[in-house]
Chain A
């Protein structure tokens, strides 16, 4: 036997070059919108608002990207976890109003972090129950998944109404997150900058886990050939339950952020954004974290620019965006899963 060798670090097969065009799309959209908006300060305000909105949409979408994009579970109940996140966040912020209104950044940050953690944990626990009761019995059957998860969404919404009431609820952001910073004549809301930061952290975390860890390898392999992964000694059932729970937790996190972004909402907050989330995932390409982020940023930017320049077509702007992207790339911006 020859001497042991270490694993090689180079390959004769050139690595597939990164497809930069979709990455550049948000920038291209922003540049194209400039002449439509006219005023550079208004354009800057709209751009930051669009990016922040996109980041929050990414946070609420990333969970479904895992569950639908990777696991092929058509979860129409994803909005339930968003609504839960928003209401649990509210349930933490309301009794801690003194901390919310305090002038201390530390207390404001603590109450904000508590709300985020509570939203994530409750959504995760409910996600686990949701998976056991509603998803596992209909695994692999899309039609039944739609029926079961839609039913689950209705049940969670009604439970929220029973606990917190049907009326619109409203609450304030922690004091330090209110208001804006002025950049010239552009007003950049503080909360939107925080949303950009948290969204970026979620994106990097997801990307690292999926591409740099053994769990990520197992998820990617299991999505492609679950049977082979089992024949290699891995229990995919536990793995996929974990992915579903993480998806629900991400929706809970996004729900808290989305609720704080809107500041006024009802129990339908999740159902209302469900369609938008599917649009983002379809634009991004099934199972692609980067595609999901770009899709969400495009939706956020387009909504803001169109809402300002042509309010009459604002309602259709997301559908129009999806149509244009799919005409260009029928599988979405990046395709990870062949389906």
Chain B
């Protein structure tokens, strides 16, 4: 059951340290259920650390994280994944020695692939079907990204955390991705996406959070940010005209 607009994921004053480095300095972030929240910010702002902290791949040293009303701050990554959180890391995390089919079979925790979901994946990413029995390591960068996203949606998820899915991809592939993410949103899944490409962020996002130096410095609707050139320049150091 989805309660559109109610927070699905909430971070409250989350701090993360990696070795001697203090990366997150009290992140407050709310991801409403049923939409796409874009996490923007310059390189090194702490976006990827935030995603990894939610997934428990790095531990929050202070603050709390709740998912669907449940405190997951001290849970481990497998538990969080089994609560219905799909994760697409920046590095894609493809198992290159396994075939495309094996990558997807492994991503299906239930142990079997749902033909209907497979159909959706094949429609969105025809390359997945074409290279089904090929080793994932032989795929191109764009195809690996498609496989990484396909893995995250091979079973129903409540939340998808996607870290820079368009990094290094050709414009034609990015245009295809926008369509895929819109279709995904239409299925009711909640998306938290880290993205540097503002055109894509504007096309998909409902809400936006901007990070700087390990803190959320702006939180609001995407439409509001897209309409305010001055705000964009102040927060992101960019103007919409450069991304039309």
Contacts and interface: CB of A to CB of B under 8 A. Distances in A.
Interface string B93-120: 1011110111001110101010110111
A8 B106 contact: no
28 contacts: A3-B119, A4-B118, A4-B119, A5-B119, A6-B118, A7-B101, A8-B129, A8-B132, A10-B132, A11-B131, A11-B133, A11-B134, A13-B133, A13-B135, A16-B135, A217-B105, A218-B106, A220-B95, A221-B95, A221-B106, A225-B95, A228-B93, A230-B78, A230-B81, A231-B77, A231-B89, A233-B78, A235-B78
B118 A7 contact: yes
Given A5-B119, A11-B130, A13-B133, A232 B98 contact: no
Given A221-B106, A232-B81, A232-B107, A15 B97 contact: no
B27 to A, nearest CB: 19
Given A1-B119, A217-B98, A230-B81, 14 more contacts: A4-B118, A5-B119, A7-B118, A13-B134, A16-B138, A218-B106, A220-B95, A224-B95, A230-B76, A231-B77, A231-B87, A232-B151, A233-B109, A336-B97
A181 interface: no
Given A225-B93, A232-B81, A232-B109, A10 B133 contact: yes
Q: A interface, by DSSP: helix, strand, loop or mixed?
A: loop
Nearest to A14: B134
A316 interface: no
B180 to A, nearest CB: 14
A158 B57 CA distance: 42
Contacts of A4: 115-116, 118-119
B55 interface: yes
B222 to A, nearest CB: 27
A15 B134 contact: yes
B81 to A, nearest CB: 4
B106 A232 contact: yes
Contacts of B138: 13, 16
A228 B88 CA distance: 9
Interface of A: 1-13, 15-16, 214, 217-218, 220-221, 224-225, 227-235, 336
Interface string B24-50: 000000000000000000000000000
Contacts of B77: 227, 230-231
Interface centre among A2, A232, A235 (most CB of B within 10 A): A232
Contact of B123 (A2, A8, A229): A2
Nearest to A222: B95
B93 A220 contact: no
Given A15-B134, A227-B57, A231-B89, A217 B119 contact: no
Contact of A217 (B55, B102, B118, B129): B102
B81 A13 contact: no
Given A1-B120, A7-B113, A228 B133 contact: no
A314 to B, nearest CB: 37
Contact of A234 (B78, B119, B120, B130): B78
A3 to B, nearest CB: 7
Nearest to B131: A13
B55 A231 contact: yes
B234 interface: no
Contacts of B89: 228, 231
B82 interface: yes
The 10 closest A-B pairs by CB, nearest first: A13-B134, A228-B93, A11-B133, A233-B81, A4-B115, A230-B77, A221-B95, A8-B132, A231-B87, A233-B82
